[in-house]
Amino acid sequence: MFVSDLSVEKWVGNKDEGSLMENPSWQQIESAICQLNGTTQTLVTLGADEETYMSIGGGEAGKYIVNVTLDGMTFYNLVDRTSSELIEKLVVGGQLGNYRAKMLTNLQTALLVAKTFAGTGELDESVTWEEDEFLAMVG
């Protein structure tokens, strides 16, 4: 497996009491993603090293966002280009944020891209990835 750690946030009030698991199995990763609920569990991160990771966030009403970086500098968002540019609210990482509707995906797609990344470290080619200019490194 490409992924070497699994970070799971668990919010109790305003404190994150999440966990970090080394060398997770696919079943553990899948379970963590399925437990995202948009309130107490809002972010899962699959890491290979400090610069290569995938984050899956949200979970409320079956809506998720997925982003990934392979070098810690360039970030990509999973997008559905057939969706609108309308803004939707979603809790990710314990924070309510505004996200373009095209960035929201369903659980099945989030699991598909997570499984590909966890196993190979690659972006699943059956979906669309878009570079995120707003997450570019400044320095």
- The per-residue pLDDT for 55 is 98
- The per-residue pLDDT for 74 is 93
pLDDT over threshold 80, residue 139: no
**Alpha carbons 27 and 24: distance in angstroms, whole number:** 8
Q: Could you tell me the pLDDT band of residue 137, with boundaries at 50, 70 and 90?
A: very low
Instruction: Give bridge partners of residue 47 from the DSSP assignment.
Output: 5, 53
pLDDT over threshold 70, residue 58: yes
pLDDT digits (tens, 9 = 90+) for 63-117: 999 999 999 999 999 999 888 889 999 999 999 999 999 999 999 999 999 999 9
For the chain, the first-to-last Cα distance in angstroms comes to 32
pLDDT over threshold 90, residue 136: no
For the chain, the helix, strand and coil percentages under 3-state DSSP, each to the nearest 5: 25, 40, 40
